[in-house]
Structures are given as C-alpha cells and as structure tokens.
Structure 1
Amino acid sequence: MNGPLIVQSDRTVLLEVAHPQAADARHELAVFAELERAPEHVHTYRITRLGLWNARAAGHAAEAMIDTLERYAKFPVPQSVSVDIRDTVARYGRLTIEREDRADAPAIANSPQEALEQLPTLVLTASDPALLAEVTRSKRIAPLLGARRSETAIELLPWARGQIKQELVKIGWPAEDLAGYTPGQPHDIALDESEWHLRDYQRAAVDSFFAQGSGVVVLPCGAGKTLVGAGAMATAKATTLILVTNTVSARQWRDELLRRTSLTPDEIGEYSGTVKEIRPVTIATYQILTAKRKGVYTHLSLLDALDWGLIVYDEVHLLPAPVFKLTADLQARRRLGLTATLVREDGREGDVFSLIGPKRFDAPWKEIEAQGYISPAACYEVRIDLPHSDRLEYAASSDDDRYRLAATSPAKTPVVRDLIAKHPGEQVLVIGQYIDQLDDLAAQLDAPEITGATPVDERERLYQAFRTGEIDVLVVSKVANFSVDLPDATVAIQVSGSFGSRQEEAQRLGRLLRPNKDGVPASFYTLVTRDTVDQDFAQNRQRFLAEQGYAYTILDADALAAA
C-alpha cells in the first residue's frame, strides 16, 4: 500500500497532491466525498451522509466506494469507516413512498372535498417494523401521517409528500420516492438534430433522469446543460415550466430552444418583471416567482397556470429559499435540476436532495475536457501587496470593511492592465463584486461595463458585441456569473468576489470553458491582496475547482510586471 490517500476514522480523507496516482484518486473520490481544504500539498476531503446518498442515488454502490479508498490508501482503511459507509448507504431505500390510485374517486370534482378525494393515496413503507416505529415517533413527522396500514406501512397526508422527504433526510432516513409523476398536459416537442446531435454524456444524463423520474444533473459550465434540458423536454413531450436566474438567461434559453427543437416562437413564453406570457413552454425567473406584495407571493398561480409535465430548475444551486417551500407542493410533477455544482453557500444541499431529487448524473469537469467538449484552462492566483498607506486603515477596520478594503485595492488596477497586455487579440472579461471598483476599472481601461443596473436590452447588445469581437474587453459584475453564453472569452480576470463563495468561483471559470473557434486555452486569473482576508477567502473559493482537478499557479504581481 503506497497510494495517495490517508483515510482517517473521523471520515476525513487526505490526498497527497504530488503523488502520481493523485489525479485518478481525486476523480473517483469526488463521486462521494466533498473537498474541505485545498492547500498546495495535501487536500482534505470529508465523507458525508448526503454525499454517500447522492452517490448511491446516481448508481454507485457502497462496495465500489470502499474499493476506491482501499485501492488508493497509503495505510489500511479504518474498519469503522468501511462499516459507516455500508450502513449509511444502506439507509437509502429502506423507506419508500408509493402511490395507490383511488378507484372510487369521482371523475369530476364538484367541491374541494371531492378534489381531495381524487388525490391518490400515498403510502410510506419501511423495510421492517422497528424502522417505521422509529420515524413515526418523530414530532415533526407524526403530523404528516394518516392511517396505519400494517406494521411496515402507513399512509401519508395527501399534501405531505415533499415535507416528509425533507424531515426524513434530517433524521438520517432518506426515502426513495416511487410514487410516480403526473404526465402533465401533452405538448409535442422534438429535437431538431439535422445539424447536431446530443453528445453521449448528454443523452446518458437525460436517460438517467427519466429512469428515476426527478433529480439533479451535474455538468460543467459549457458542457451543454441547456441541451440536457431540451432533451428532457423532448422525452416528456409535455408542457414545461423553466425557472432561470435572470431575464438574460431566460432569453438565451428561448433562443437555444428555438434553434435546437421543433418549438416555435408562439409556443415559448417569458414570465419576468417586464413580460407576463404563459405558453406551453414558459420561462420564468426566480425573482418573479419569489416577488411578494403585502406579504403574499403574487405570482404563485404560475405554478398551476398549466398542467405542467416537467419543471426545469436552471442553476439549481442558486434556488432561492422560498422556492423550496413552493417546490414541496410540486412533488407530483417531474423536476429536473441543472447545475455545475451541488455546493450551496447556505448549506441547504439536503433540501435540493429531498425536494428536487438526488443527483442522477455527474460528469467530472476534467473528463469532459479530455473529450474536447470544454476548453482546457489554466488557473492563476496573482498576489498583490496592499499599499503601505492602506495598511494602517486595514488594521483598524472591522472585519466586513477589511475585505472590501483588501478586495478593492487600487493596486489591482495596473495588474489588470498588465494581464490584458499579456493576451493581445484575446477576449477578456474583468469580473468583480463591487460596483465602484468596476466603475473605476471600466474608466481606466476605456471598456464597456455591465452591472445589475444595466438595462436588459443594453446587456444583450454588449454581450453580442463581445461575441462578434467588436469589443475585446468587457467589465462585468456578478450578473455575468450565471447562464451567460460567451464562447469566445478566453481570459477572465477576477478582481473581487462574494467573500469565500465556491460556487461563484466555479461559475466564473465556467465563462471560459465553452470551446472557442480558435482553440485557444483559457486563462483564469484571481487577483488577491497578500496577507489579508482577501487571501483567506480566495483559498476557500478555490476548493471546488481543486476538487475538479484544477490547480492554481501562484504569481507575484511585481514579477509579472517585470516580465
């Protein structure tokens, strides 16, 4: 045994980065473990219950996970870890939710009571009486239950399908939902594959999703998550509600569906702050769905406007908290979550698992890169000294002010200029968090700027000018993090971010991974102020990408300027 892994009894796993087998071990470990820390030489992973259940739901067996640890271990794997993995994985599926249609239900509901009688009976079934007794004793689960059927089966209240899955995950007994889904209102949708075809992994993602009914597909930015959504729609052939992060994303979804499917403009509606269209395929923003007036969700009726056969959640890791509550009532409809990362900064991965569904398909970034479908990328962390004149102010500032002071240091501006000069003729994105910093950079670089205040039509005009090469440097705020198609961007310079957000780091690198027409490798620079909280947050931000196999090369700003 001389592998790159040290498996510890507290379920942490240490990966020796320089070991010749490190890349293979990381690839297999990422299936069921989450990277916690990623310094230069030894990365720390943690095996969690949710990670094991997601792996099991995606088709990975406990023995395969244990085999990964044993094959790459430097020392014997503690027996307690192997036992824990087997026991935890075995918990998934010991509780199931199944449906019984009511043969005596009235064909047409003439009253709320008759409508309730039309609902199928949901039954929670346990593998043994002791397990059912354990979960039914929970004070949060008992109010969701109906009549006892047997020692191993009990009815659920008709509306409780989503809520009970949430509660069962919290107490460590995830239920496998086998209750099926309403087909929804039929609507003919076909893929137009005359000039393109779904890639093998995209087809596998669609097939895996439909084999299970609902859940999450995890693919790198640029790997075609929208096409997986289109493939799912063509398989469902039903009215579809698509929820997206912003209006620009909504219009890009619309354009892609018109280009890739048989849908016509009259069949696709936009439901946003400016337009309220309900069509067989309706694309709505999360913001409009969560908008309140006098404490009431005013657009909640959209969820029942049509008999949706499929609901697609784009960038599911950004799902606003109120949408979880609304989704709990949509468990009879097929739900497809699309994301590049299941990491949520609010820690609500368990709600994605229980309400949208488990991970059904996951293609590692480096695997898709090796197939040539996303661009190779080099990541750099450029370290900058805080000017002496700002050091005393930094030392005397509060924690919140310290990050802003370090992240927006004027010393970053000449470095941005030097980096742009290193990449003549390439398309460069300058990305940041703070608007005053971006305003100053746009003025210094004489480059156009896109922020949340930029009108949607102007955003689309500038994005299109960037795509055509009319603009080669674009300064953007966090509005460009998500679902923006800029395939010719080959350089990103990140000057500031949302503190230690791992998913934001992944999304920003993702702006560069769509293959460009010249085949130029991508360069991702993060400007970090040395010996400040800016550097501390940068290390946390890089964790997810390190898990995917991306290494950051450390550069010194002074040496860069002299080169």
Structure 2
Amino acid sequence: MIDTSQLALIVQGDHSLLLDVHNPGFEKARAEISPFAELIKSPEHIHTYRMTPLSLWNAASAGIEEDEIIESLNRLSRFPVPENVIYFVRSTLSRYGLIKVEATEDEGVLFLKSTDLAILTEIAHLKSLKKFLTPGEGGFFMKLMDRGTVKLHLIRAGFPVEDLAPLKSGDPCPINMRETMISGKPLHIRDYQEDAIKAFIGNNKPGTGFGTVVVPCGGGKTVIGMCAMSKIQAKTLILTTNVAAVHQWKRELLDKTDLREEDIGEYTGEKKEIKPVTIGTYQILIWRKDKESEYTHFSLFRKGNWGLIIYDEVHLLPAPVFRVTAEIQAVRRLGLTATLVREDGAEEDVFSLVGPKRYDVPWKELEAGGWIATAWCHELRLDLPDDLKTSYAVADKRLKFRIAAENPHKSHLVLDLIKKHPDDAIMIIGQYVKQLQEMARILGAPLITGKTPNAAREEIYENFRTGRSRIIVVSKVANFAIDLPDASVAIQISGTFGSRQEEAQRLGRILRPKDKDSWFYSLVTRYTVEEQYAANRQQFLTEQGYKYTISLGMEDL
C-alpha cells in the first residue's frame, strides 16, 4: 500500500496543484509537474501551480502525451485526482493538432485545415480572421506572410495551431564549432546543451526548427545558439538586448566557431552591416522618428535571405517586433531565455510567433551538476530614517516606492557588505540614477547607466572582467546578456517594482561557473511598499529552488 505521507502533491478541482515544500517527495514532484504547469505563488510552505491551456500545449509541443501527464498526477497526488481535472487535461490537449497549417503548390499560400467541421465553422465566424482567410474545401487558404498573425488570433481563441508548413533554407553559411577555443582550452558541449539543440532541431521535418529554449543565466545559452547555427549552416540573424550583448556574441562566435571577423556584421545605432552572420539590437529595430512614422529598420528582416533567426532574451522581445515576426514565419527561429515570464503577459505571443517551449532545464539541476555557481540569496531589511517617514506617509504609491528604494541607510549597509567580501568581484545594481551616482561617489567606483557611451561601457566591463576594477555600479542596463564571469557578489539596492524576470536576470549575472559560491543581496526598506514588490520579484527564483534568508541589516549573516 502506498504511504501517502510521502506524496507532496495535492491536485484540486480548480486545476491548481499544491506542493508541500517540507514533504520528502517535493523535489521529485516539482520536477515532474513543471513541464505542464505554471507556478502561481511560492511562499515558505506550500507552492501553488496551475495547469492552463498554454502550459499544456507547451507540454504537447515538447512531445509530452496526455497519458503521461495524467499518470504523473495520479501517481504523485496524495488524494484522488478530481475527475474534472482529468477531463480538463484530455479536453485541452485534444485541441492540440486539430488545426494544422500546411504548404500548398503556390509558394506564397498556405492552407489551414481541420477534420472537425465544428471548429472550421467557429473559425469562419471569427471576425478577427475574416480578412486573412479564404474558404476552401476542408479549411482556409491564407497568405504566407499572415502565418504568424493567424496562429496568434487562433491561440487567443483557444485553438493552438500545429504548424507543418516547411521552413525555407536561406542562403548557405558554413559554420563549425571549434574543438579548441582561442584561449587554448578544449570546447566541451554539455549534455543538456546537446539535448536542447536536439529538441529544437527535431527530425528536420515539418513542425520542427522553431521554438524556445529555457536555460538559466550562466548555463551557456549562447553556445546552444551557436550549435544550432552549426547544424543549420545558413545565413543567420541574431537579435539581442544591447550593444554590449552584440559585442559579446561576436566575441563568443570568434572564440568558439570557425567564423572570421569579416563574416560577422553588426546592425546597431553605430553600424549597419549585413554579413552572413548579422547581430543586431532590439532597440535599433523599434527605432522610428516619431510615433506616426514607420519602423525604418524592420527592413533588416528582409535584407538577407535568412535561414535562422535567434532571439536572445526572447522574453524581452518588444511588442512591435511581434508584427514583423508574424511576416517571417517561414524562417527557422530560436528563442533563448532564462525565463519565459513576460511582465506584459504576452507568453501566448512567444508561443505563436517564435515557437513553443522545446526545452527547459531547472536552475538547481545545473547548480547540482556544477554548471552554474551555488548561490546564496539574502534579503536585508532596514528602517526608513525618521526624517523621511512623514514624506513617505503622505506620498502616492509610486513615490512611496521611490522613497523606500532610495533609503539613504542603504549606502551604509553596502559598505558593510563590501567589508564582508574583501576578495570578491562585486556588482551594485539599482534602478534610480541619482542613487547610483551617490553610491559610485562614495565607493569611488565606475558607474554604468543608460547614458554611458557604448565605448565607455565596454572599457568598464573589460576592467571588471580582468580585475582592474573590483567593484562596479550599474543600472538596469546590465540586467541582460552581459557576461561577467568573475562576478561573485551582487548587491541590489533598488529594483523595478515587482519584476520577476529582473530578479532572475540580476542573480544570473553572478552564476557563471567558478570555484567559489556566489552571493545575492537585496536591500529592502521594511514596513514599506518595497517589501511587497520584493516578495513578487523573488517569486520566480523561489520556484527555482532558491531560498531567501531575511535579516535585519547585517544580523545573522
């Protein structure tokens, strides 16, 4: 007879899944349900997940069968699984694959089909699709350029589309991974990186070659992108978050592949090069003279006969880019991210326009394997100075947050933390420029903000990498796609309200594998709204298995 006390999962009739953190079966259950359920909240004792249509369709896209999901629920649940939950899983997953997109003899036309007459009737009556679809026998004809838009409207209506139309090859671009990097060290592709590449490439048949790979910061997402390029061997467009990330991609490509300097172009505010491999920024794509003007640089998508587009930090893909992404559905596309959490709730857009989640590896799994550093997370709470309490009391919520975030006591706490880590490379990260300027002045440390010229940023990052600077102060421009392998301490003096993705990215700056542990400190003013926002920011990381120790100042550290 099964000992139900060893079962951590409770399945509820509202499709929520409760996990007992203290149960011996917690880790196993969390690993099994994560591919098909979304985290809702994760306080100390009970974590709450929920199965949603999108979470189940992502699972189906990754090849997980409905019987596997139901078997897991029945085996892991402490109590019998409610019948309506079983029905929900079967009903939701039965929709996946009912609608397919296939090629036609006309290169510029696709066919949307279904064997279910009721579904075809419902689609025919969707006002949002009328201008894109032309009725045909057993389905609808649509233009190739409307492929993504149609898929997006359908998933919002509750119909995921299985896209079986072939992808174009693009111009050839020979690229091979080096066996030995420029540094002289051997290049080793990790097992999980190979698994991610296989999941993305698939069997090279229709329905494969597009999707999203979720790997923790420091886990080598760039290597996965380069390996995909070496498999596809086609002209590639790489889009990333900022110029520093463009230069980092270029360094990595030259270090780990046989591409030459002349094979790689930069498409930024400073340069407009189109090469066999072109690396650009999201910012340049969405630049325009004014709100009424066209996006001048969207033409980049059509300037090259691309065979692969890589979206780095795909969870940050700006909404305007989704429009043009809809027009290039015939190109292989790979999204790379540490978290699919989007603060604008547009996860469905990523699913439809870039592709479903093909691979996901838990942060703690990579930590256990030594692939990313062991990290210790601490929230340090401190009081608001007496002379600011009246101003705080009468302020609106946004100003309350700023007053709490800029608490002047935080600078003293930063100094104490620096003394605690005399031999570590330290990043001090914040939201407000005035606060960061004061912190940089006190420490005599270099400062990077959005106004720091790219050349100056590169010099500061390089000095930090090589040890010429032990401490740097950075704004949110350093949240994403910056490789600082020797950073082992991050001190967050202020954050962006309740952004879960930001907390994950900031921790990721110190997770590059190294011989010692990493430390993440978040300074929070207690009895203020900053406590509430801090709790929300921590949600994603606590789900990943990280625990925050909460202390008053330097107590208990």
TM-score of the alignment, normalized to the shorter chain, above 0.5: yes
CA contact (8 A) 1:376 1:513 kept: yes
Paired amino acid for 1:27: A
Aligned CA-pair RMSD: 1.4
The equivalent position to 2:168 in structure 1, one of 175, 182, 185, is 182
Partner of 2:414: 416
Cα deviation digits, residues 452-495 of structure 1 (max 9, x gap): 11111111111111111121111111111101001111111111
Percent identity, please.
Answer: 51
Letter matched to residue 205 of structure 1: A
Secondary structure of the residue that 1:27 maps to in structure 2? Answer: helix
Match of 1:373 in 2: 371
1:526-550 residue CA offsets vs partner (Å, 9 max, x unmatched): 1111121111011111111111111
Correspondence 1:44 to 2:77: no
Shift of 1:558: 5.5
- SS of 1:192's equivalent in the other structure is coil
Deviations 1:71-115 (A, max 9, x none): 33232221111211121122111111000233xxxxxxxxxxxxx
1:193 aligned residue? 179
Give, in whole Å, the separation in 2 of the partners of 1:356 and 1:506: 22
Residues 558 and 224 from structure 1, CA distance in 2 versus in 1: closer, same or farther, beyond 3 angstroms?
closer
Q: State the alpha-carbon separation in 2 of the partners of residues 558 and 311 from structure 1.
A: 47
Contact residue 144 and residue 327 of structure 2 kept, 8 A: no
Instruction: Determine the C-alpha separation between the residues in 1 that align with 2:74 and 2:445.
Output: 53
After superposition, the C-alpha distances for 1:10-67 in whole angstroms (9 at most, x for unaligned) are: 1222222222222222222221222222222222222211111112111222222233
Aligned to 1:216: 212
Contact 1:146 1:157 in 2 (8 A): no
Q: Does 1:87 align with 2:75?
A: no
Equivalent-residue separation in structure 1 for 2:68 and 2:529 (angstroms): 40
**Equivalent of 1:123 in 102, 107, 111:** 111
Structure 1 Cα separation of the partners of residues 536 and 252 of structure 2? 34
The letter for the 1-side match of 2:435 is Q
Residues 404-427 of structure 1: per-residue CA shift (max 9 Å, x gap):
111111111111111111112011
Tell me the distance in 1 between the aligned counterparts of 2:90 and 2:111: 27
Counterpart selection for 1:273 from 269, 274, 287: 269
4+ residue runs over 4 A deviation: none
Residue 258 of structure 1 corresponds to 254
Q: Which of 538, 543, 560 is 2:539 aligned to?
A: 543
Structure 2 match to 1:73: 77
Query: In the alignment, is the contact (CA less than 8 A) between 2:380 and 2:554 conserved in 1?
Result: no
Report what 2:17 is aligned to.
13
Give, in whole Å, the separation in 2 of the partners of 1:526 and 1:71: 39
Give 1:140-539 correspondences, 5 Å limit. 140-149=128-137, 152-194=138-180, 195-211=186-202, 212-294=208-290, 295-516=293-514, 519-539=515-535
> 1:69 and 1:75 mapped to 2: Cα distance?
10
Structure 2: 5+ residue stretches without partners:
181-185, 203-207
- Given that 2:210 and 2:332 are in contact with CA atoms closer than 8 Å, whether structure 1 keeps it comes out as yes
| Counterpart-to-counterpart distance in 2, 1:559 and 1:233 | 50
Q: Tell me the matched-pair count.
A: 541
Q: In structure 2, the residue corresponding to 1:324 is in which secondary structure?
A: helix
- Taking structure 2 as the reference length, the TM-score comes to 0.95
Partner of 2:123 in structure 1? 135
Q: Deviations over 1:376-435 (max 9, x none)?
A: 111111111122222221111001101111111111111111111111201111111111
State the SS of the aligned residue for 1:379: strand
Gaps of at least 5 residues in structure 1 are 103-118
Shift of 1:292: 0.9
What CA deviation, in whole Å up to 9, does each residue of 1:494-533 have, x standing for no partner?
Answer: 11111100000110010111112xx111111111111211
CA–CA separation in structure 1 for the residues paired with 2:235 and 2:169: 9
1:133 is aligned with what amino acid? T
For 1:141, the aligned partner's letter is L
AA at the equivalent of 1:229: G
Structure 2: distance between partners of 1:477 and 1:356:
29
Q: Which amino acid aligns with 2:244?
A: V
SS at match of 1:528: strand
CA distance in 1, matches of 2:531, 2:224: 37
Paired residue secondary structure (2:520): strand
Asked whether the 8 Å contact 1:431–1:495 carries over to 2, the reply is yes
